[in-house]
């Protein structure tokens, strides 16, 4: 496995591979890798001849007062894990590589509508930050495939929409959520939980499963199901932002006749903002 830190080095590798007619799969990450990230890499290796992982904590997708400064950075451990999985190339740029003109008045990519709902309501500008950095990674890596985790389901849809609108010739692959043994979705931010909070955190998945079962039985009771889950989260000491059922294809509010739904939630527990979701198929 090779690690490069500059766009010039990245482009040189990509040119060699493209020259040899080799396919490329990219998994963009912010590092502090867990099994969820490694599952992206495993699928990437299955799909393409060459694999690239990027590690970059992207400041413009963090709001003021969010965890940009404390986001865990574990490059040496990440490198070991990636090498053991047979990665070809790790791209770990610094800020100047990706933001050569700074971050105050630089060009941004914005995907309308879907970026403004759910997480976008609570984190204004977040998805524009994601779309901007992912565009830069796409343009310089020119992958055939790019892989993202379904835990960030809204992010996945934002990226799919961006790829369609900007005509990027890239297939976007969503990979299933990886869970701890008690059901908690794997996330680098789980490290912010203290032992008591960590013990409680699996309530999120438990409520998603219970709500999915109720929804499948009584689709008309959507509002009651959402309110009951929000109440249980608050009573257990979470600060929920939303717990809602939406149409899986575009996150529009569900209307009668929609069969493919998704329950999504974001909730704070102590200093950790936890995200999770679960698909529901109505008969
Ligand atoms: O999901 C993430 O880790 C980030 O949002 C991404 C896609 C790497 C962009 O910074």
- φ and ψ at 174, to 5 degrees? -95, 135
User: How would you write the pLDDT of the chain (283 residues) with one tens digit per residue?
Assistant: 999 999 999 999 999 999 999 999 999 999 999 999 999 999 999 999 999 999 999 999 999 999 999 999 999 999 999 999 999 999 999 999 999 999 999 999 999 999 999 999 999 999 999 999 999 999 999 999 999 999 999 999 999 999 999 999 999 999 999 999 999 999 999 999 999 999 999 999 999 999 999 999 999 999 999 999 999 999 999 999 999 999 999 999 988 899 999 999 999 999 999 999 999 999 9
CA of 1 from ligand 1 middle (Å) equals: 22
Question: Does residue 30 line the site of ligand 1, with CB under 6 A?
Answer: yes
- Angle of helix 126-141 relative to helix 7-19, nearest 10 degrees, comes to 50
From the CB of 43, is ligand 1 less than 6 Å away? Answer: no
Count CA within 13 A, CB hemisphere, residue 33: 25
Tell me how far apart the alpha carbons of residues 278 and 280 are, in angstroms, rounded to a whole number.
7
Ligand 1 mutation pick, 133, 157, 178, max ligand atoms within 8 A of CB: 133
Please name every residue paired with 240 in a beta bridge, in sequence order, or none if there are none.
267
Q: Is 260 left (phi over 0), alpha (psi -120 to 50) or beta?
A: beta
Are 275 and 265 in contact, with CB atoms under 8 Å apart?
yes
Tokens 């997708």 sit at which residue?
A: 61
Q: Tell me the backbone φ, ψ of residue 202, rounded to 5 degrees.
A: -70, -10
Using a cut of 0.85, tell me whether the model's pTM lies above it: yes
Query: Could you give phi then psi for residue 176, rounded to 5 degrees?
Result: -55, 150
Work out the angle between the directed axes of helices 222-235 and 203-217 (0-180°, nearest 10).
160
Q: Domains in the chain, please, with CATH?
A: 2-175 (3.40.50.620), 188-278 (3.30.1300.10)
Which residue in the block uniquely carries the two structure tokens 């979705």? 185
For 215, the token pair is 């929804």
Interval between CA 40 and ligand 1 midpoint (Å) = 13
């Amino acid at each position: 496995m090779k690690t490069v830190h500059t766009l010039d080095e990245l482009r040189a590798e990509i040119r060699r591979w493209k020259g040899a007619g080799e396919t490329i799969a990219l998994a963009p990450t912010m590092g502090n890798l867990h099994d969820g990230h490694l599952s992206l890499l495993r699928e990437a290796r299955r799909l393409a001849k060459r694999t690239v992982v990027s590690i970059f904590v992207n400041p413009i997708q963090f709001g003021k007062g969010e965890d940009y400064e404390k986001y865990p950075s574990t490059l040496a451990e990440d490198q070991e894990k990636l090498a053991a999985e047979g990665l070809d190339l790790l791209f770990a740029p610094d800020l100047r590589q990706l933001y050569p003109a700074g971050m105050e008045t630089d060009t941004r990519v914005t995907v309308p509508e879907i970026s403004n709902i759910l997480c976008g309501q609570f984190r204004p500008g977040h998805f524009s930050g994601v779309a901007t950095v992912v565009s830069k990674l796409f343009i310089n890596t020119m992958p055939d495939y790019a892989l993202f985790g379904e835990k960030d389901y809204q992010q996945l849809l934002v990226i799919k929409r961006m790829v369609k609108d900007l005509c990027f010739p890239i297939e976007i692959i969503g990979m299933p959520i990886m869970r701890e043994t008690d059901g908690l979705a794997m996330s680098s931010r789980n490290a912010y939980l203290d032992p008591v909070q960590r013990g409680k955190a699996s309530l999120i998945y438990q409520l998603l499963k219970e709500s999915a079962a109720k929804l499948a039985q009584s689709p008309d009771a959507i509002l009651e199901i959402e309110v009951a889950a929000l109440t249980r989260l608050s009573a257990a000491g979470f600060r929920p932002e939303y717990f809602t059922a939406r149409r899986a294809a575009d996150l529009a509010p569900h209307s009668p006749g929609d069969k493919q739904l998704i329950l999504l939630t974001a909730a704070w527990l102590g200093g950790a903002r936890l995200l999770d979701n679960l698909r529901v198929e109505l008969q």
